[in-house]
Structure 1
Amino acid sequence: MRHESRADVSPRPGVGTTEDPPPRSDPERFARLFIDHAPELKRYVVRRLGLEPADDIVAETFAVALQRLESYDGRRGDERAWLYGIATNLIGRHRRREIGLYKALSRTGADAVIEPFTDEVEQRVVADGARRRLAKALAGLSRKHRDTLLLVTWAELTYEEAAVALGVPVGTVRSRVNRARSSLRRVLAGIDPTVADEG
């Protein structure tokens, strides 16, 4: 069985729409893809890596998507999940930066990256004084567990969409998310900041 990089991954059959895909080499299709998904994709990258590399990663994500769009079969899965798979692969090249941001947050408690994007889940964590411990826990997760957890919680992909994005079975996504959440609960003294995002 040939293993593809996550940037090359095509969704599995049976996931997503059964309608005919838009015509190939369609500039309007690419424009719609960009307009529909670039802002949320950038927010996701900013949360993981900060502002500095976000524009470049989003641009590269869509450059890769444009190269592969002609051969992408929309009947096989959600284009949104496909884009997050490409972005996650590109984020992996910046692993040291991501870990460094989490470690800095665990030391100082100052989170310039995600402060503008706080939501109810993060507010619960902050209210309990656990943000530093959360950052330390995220830094301690393996890349595959962190990628999976954050696709489900921050990008709000379903387990099925995360499976498409990562090119793994849905059961693997469930297992990784459960293990990552268990690790976070241990560090956060029983608080699960991701429980509201169950896919």
Structure 2
Amino acid sequence: LISGHRRSEVRRLRALARAPRDADERGHHEEERGAERASAAALRPVLAAALARLSAAERELLLLVAWADLSYEEAAEALKIPIGTVRSRLHRVRAKLRRHLDLSEENV
């Protein structure tokens, strides 16, 4: 059941990476926020592809800290791993994402 969920998650991220942007995400709204939305919309497929390349454990840790806004201590407790492991894994995951995003920008 868990492995099925993780495969589905990766498929969703890959599909999001391939999905075309709709008109609402192209920045047709107010001037200031429109530019931010357009930048975020352009990055979304690339970021989804980068997230799909991470292992489930890497993605889970990154999303706990970046999206759920957990501290390193809280993430360590939630995952039942030492805080030093959280720090080192996050460092490696962020480096992987940076490399993938840099490569993607060169191909655009």
TM-score scaled by structure 2? 0.71
Residue matched to 1:177: 90
Larger Rg: 1
Distance 1:188 1:151 in 2: 20
1:138 alignment partner, one of 44, 51, 54: 51
Distance 2:62 2:76 in 1: 11
> 1:61-85 CA deviation, whole Å, 9 max, x = no partner?
xxxxxxxxxxxxxxxxxxxxxxxxx
Corresponding pairs, count: 90
Distance 1:160 1:92 in 2: 27
State the shift of 1:150 in Å.
0.5
CA RMSD of aligned residues (A): 2.7
Unpaired runs of at least 5, structure 2: 23-34, 104-108
State the shift of 1:186 in Å.
1.2
Contact 1:152 1:159 in 2 (8 A): yes
2:39 alignment partner, one of 120, 123, 127: 127
Return structure 1 stretches of 4+ with deviation > 2 angstroms.
Answer: 90-93, 123-126
Distance 1:124 1:179 in 2: 28
- One-letter identity of the residue aligned with 1:127: S
Once the two structures are superposed, the pairs formed by residues 45-124 of structure 1 within 5 Å of their partners are: 94-109=5-20
State the shift of 1:93 in Å.
5.3
- One-letter identity of the residue aligned with 2:15: A
Contact 1:125 1:131 in 2 (8 A): no
TM-score scaled by structure 1? 0.40
Distance 1:125 1:178 in 2: 27
Contact 1:108 1:132 in 2 (8 A): yes
SS in 2 for 1:189: helix
Structure with more contact order per residue of length (Cα contacts < 8 Å, sep ≥ 6) = 1
Distance 2:44 2:93 in 1: 16
Residue matched to 2:99: 186
Unpaired runs of at least 5, structure 1: 1-89, 112-122, 191-199
Distance 1:143 1:174 in 2: 17
Distance 2:89 2:38 in 1: 25
